[in-house]
Amino acid sequence: KELGGTTMPDTIQLDTSSSIAGTAVSNSIILRSSLILGPPTPFQNGCRKGAFPSFLQFIESRLLSSTPANYFINEFRSVVHVEDVIRSIRHFVCQALLDSGDDVDVDGDGDGDSAPVKKKTSVFNLGGSTRASRYDVALEVAHRLKCDASSANGVDRPPTVPGGVRSPPDISMNVDKLTEELGVVKMDGLKEIVLTTFK
């Protein structure tokens, strides 16, 4: 299950990742991201969900105003903290710079360390440690904000979403390969993401 969602057959996962890797430049790193969550972007026109900086702020607004909102209960993602996304990208960029011969501080601690260089194209699942639906995310935000969650309605995702991109309902990820690469015990889960977003 290393290369894809845990509900898809292995052959589909491998074929998909192989086809992606086959079109990449040699010595490339491909990060397959999940639903990225975190605090508002510092950029004025960054990632926005309508009038809101991000999905979590959309949920916060609906909950605090008791405005009913629907959240899918049958669509699952390995929600990932934006800080883990940044850490992962930094790790691989530093490795690439090391490969070019530049002096790079890999982990940002100022000690001028080095790291092994990847020589082939690799695919990594960039997800968090929690498999969650959007409804799960809404409930976790409500718990953190200590507010009534009754305005959050759990609904089934329709077979086709008008104007949306087709995707399997469950594309939760095995991220063992990435955590081993980064040298961490685990990626942040939903609780940690919500906790640090709403301090």
pLDDT of residue 182: 96
| Residue 75 pLDDT exceeds 60 | yes
> How remote is the C-alpha of 110 from its chain's centroid?
28
Query: From the CA atom positions of the chain, what is the Rg in Å?
Result: 19
Using DSSP's 3-state secondary structure scheme, residue 69 falls into strand
pLDDT in tens, 94-146: 988 887 765 555 566 666 555 554 467 899 999 999 999 999 999 999 999 99
Average the pLDDT over each of 11-20, 54-63, 83-92 and give the range with the smallest value: 11-20
Reported as a single tens digit per residue, the pLDDT across 141-175 is 999 999 999 999 999 998 776 666 778 899 999 99
Helices (H), ranges, the chain: 10-22, 55-64, 82-99, 134-145, 176-182, 190-197
pLDDT of residue 172: 93
pTM confidence score? 0.77
In the prediction, which pLDDT does 47 show? 61
Identify the pLDDT of residue 109. 63
Which among 117, 146, 130 is positioned nearest to 191, based on CA atoms?
130
Average of per-residue pLDDT values in the chain: 81
In this structure, what token pair is assigned to residue 70? 């629907």
CA-nearest of 67, 40, 64, 42 to 51 is 40
